[in-house]
Amino acid sequence: MRVVWTLSCLLFMTLDLSAADPRWERYAAYEPRIRALNPRLHELGGIIARIGETVQNPELQGLRAAFAEAEAKLKEAIVTSGLTKIEAEYMEGAGQRDRLIDAHLGDSAPLKDALSTLQAAKKIVEELRPRLGSLSPEEALRYAEARHRETSANTALYYMRSDFFAMGGEKMHALYKQWNDAKSRDKTVSAAQKAFDGARKTLAAAEQKAGRSSPLAAPLVKEEEEINAKTKAIREEMDALAKELRGQWDTFSGKVTQKPEKPADKPRDWPCSVSIPKGCVQIKGAMIAGGVANDPCIQSVLAASSFAIVQIQGIYVMNTPMHREIFETALATLTAQCGHPELAHVPWLTGGTSASVITARNIAAWRPERAVGVIHFAGGNLHHMRDIGKPWSLAGIPLLAINGEKESCGPEGGIRPEYGRLTQWVMIREQLLRFRAHSPDHFMSLIVIPEADHAGWSSSMSHLVAEFVQQAILARVPEQPEPAKTTVICRTINPDFGWLADADFCQPRHPPAPVSRYAGKPADAFWHFNEYLAAGIESFHRGRLMPDPTRKHPVPADWPPAPAPRP
């Protein structure tokens, strides 16, 4: 149920925060529908390929013999080249690292499931493999299923452990480099490795082809085709809805010439553009985008709100007069080209991806009175507060941070061994909460995309981000009966309004609630515009994230390194 609430603002207005577009949730549901089909599709493909291992014919027998020979020659080359000791040291180091990681992840259900599955599958494979040439159809299918489970469990274990490979430390990194460098330098081993990889690839392709042609695989191939057809139909529906949500836009392009800083330098042209919803009579705001405006649900909000989308290159992190001059010149150029003089005066919603989050938050801090909100995607390091010529603050500006659960790019100091690839989201959460603890008018929240790497957007959260954008516009942008001729000042948000939700995504202690009724400490909770966002983001995370590593290893009080965050 939607909640109507009152914001204290400069104009003391009451805002009816309208309901989310039902199409957003429909669009966000497509990705989970496809994701639900993928495990069975993966299973079918794996079993079909492994059925090929049970097929006996002259071609496959020859390829298997060639593979066995290539494997033997590789082992022989390693021995004759004197690399046995280096290999053993690497394997021993890798084993120690994996055992350390497994102990670190001891309470992880996925790890336990993968180890249990692997053990059970290996038992079946070891039982049936000696009789591969004489298995009954039922035994061959049982073998193929076990081989697929074995492979899948090994793959799952590798990726779970690789998230925490930093626990191996510099010693393991040195062993890995030593082993790979030694193989690359030795021509005999390098050639044998290449021959082995080629033989393995050729055999795998032939067995997959044989498995797919086997009568035993016929019902599996049919089911696979049916699932692929379902997936295709879902994607086509998704694409059609995306097109509908995006609508049509008119784009105007220009450029800004950067004056040379030194006499020997040449002028440099920076492209810029503005996209305006087709048929828009009056622009009421602009999104200064850093990639996040590509989402169709976000575009639908912008269009409905008469917001333009502005792209400006060359402004970097907006921390020098030159960057600000490029920004202002580009905006003036685009204003003249698009025929909407009000573009020069309307409020800005900023968005950034990866390093450009610094640009997004610096524009907001530079002109907070014009900042509708910030979408902070795949970034961190809030202590990197570039000089903007005034005290740096995001107080009063709604900010939604979005990070992948398993980002390969970490914050300053890199991937921490105890957090592995969870480091980035753990640290951005910590910094956001420090701002929240400093004062309640830091309207900050966080979405963590399960399993996602750096800058891996997920359409399954599109409805939530679109709702954030819609509510930020409704809360911050004042009425504009006529096209703006002077700077439009954003309304203020009273920190007593809105909703709070526990920042402990894995084991929330308190249910989402309005600020005045929240049972926990506000400093340990994220702020949201309404129940839809507070409950929706909690539901988005529920049961989908790895155990929170800060339960065992709290973020050190002395992180990040100086200079410390200045709320």
Q: Is residue 31 domain-resident?
A: no
Q: Which residues pair with 273 in a beta bridge?
A: 253, 311
Give the type of residue at 142. R
Residue 5, pLDDT above cutoff 50: no
pTM metric for this prediction: 0.93
User: In the chain, what percentage of residues exceed pLDDT 70?
Assistant: 95
Which tens digits make up the pLDDT trace of 33-49?
999 999 999 999 999 99
Instruction: Assess whether 447 and 505 both reside in one domain.
Output: yes
* pLDDT at res. 91: 97
Q: What's the Rg (C-alpha) of the chain?
A: 28
Q: Is residue 259 domain-resident?
A: no
Residue 476, pLDDT above cutoff 60: yes
Q: Is residue 3 domain-resident?
A: no
Instruction: Assess whether 443 and 524 both reside in one domain.
Output: yes
Instruction: Assess whether 65 and 194 both reside in one domain.
Output: yes
Task: Dump strand ranges (E) for 229-334.
Answer: 249-258, 268-277, 285-288, 307-312
Which tens digits make up the pLDDT trace of 21-34?
999 999 999 999 99
Instruction: Assess whether 366 and 418 both reside in one domain.
Output: yes
Which tens digits make up the pLDDT trace of 232-290?
999 999 999 999 999 999 999 999 999 888 888 899 999 999 999 999 999 999 999 87
* pLDDT at res. 16: 38
* pLDDT at res. 107: 77
Instruction: Assess whether 274 and 170 both reside in one domain.
Output: no
CA distances to 32, 234, 256, 299 from 459, in Å: 9, 13, 34, 13
Instruction: Assess whether 397 and 539 both reside in one domain.
Output: yes
The residue from 178, 201, 231 where one domain ends is 231
CA distances to 18, 89, 287, 309 from 23, in Å: 14, 57, 21, 21
Q: Is residue 22 domain-resident?
A: no
Q: Is residue 2 domain-resident?
A: no
Residue 362, pLDDT above cutoff 60: yes
Instruction: Assess whether 509 and 377 both reside in one domain.
Output: yes
* pLDDT at res. 195: 98
Q: Which residue has the tokens 């692997």?
A: 118
Q: Is residue 418 domain-resident?
A: yes
| Residues 117, 153 contacting (CB under 8 angstroms) | yes
Instruction: Assess whether 71 and 218 both reside in one domain.
Output: yes
- Give the domain extent around 399: 269-551
Q: Is residue 442 domain-resident?
A: yes
State the average pLDDT for the chain.
93
Instruction: Assess whether 375 and 496 both reside in one domain.
Output: yes
Which tens digits make up the pLDDT trace of 493-543?
999 999 999 999 999 999 999 999 999 999 999 999 999 999 999 999 999
Number of domains composing the chain: 2
Instruction: Assess whether 115 and 206 both reside in one domain.
Output: yes
* pLDDT at res. 385: 67
Instruction: Assess whether 352 and 402 both reside in one domain.
Output: yes
Q: Is residue 24 domain-resident?
A: no
Which tens digits make up the pLDDT trace of 71-84?
999 999 999 999 99
Q: What is the DSSP letter of 377?
A: E
Residue 1, pLDDT above cutoff 50: no
Pairwise pLDDT comparison (253 vs 318), residue with the higher score: 253
* pLDDT at res. 344: 97
Q: What's the CATH code of the domain at 433?
A: 3.40.50.1820
Instruction: Assess whether 381 and 318 both reside in one domain.
Output: yes
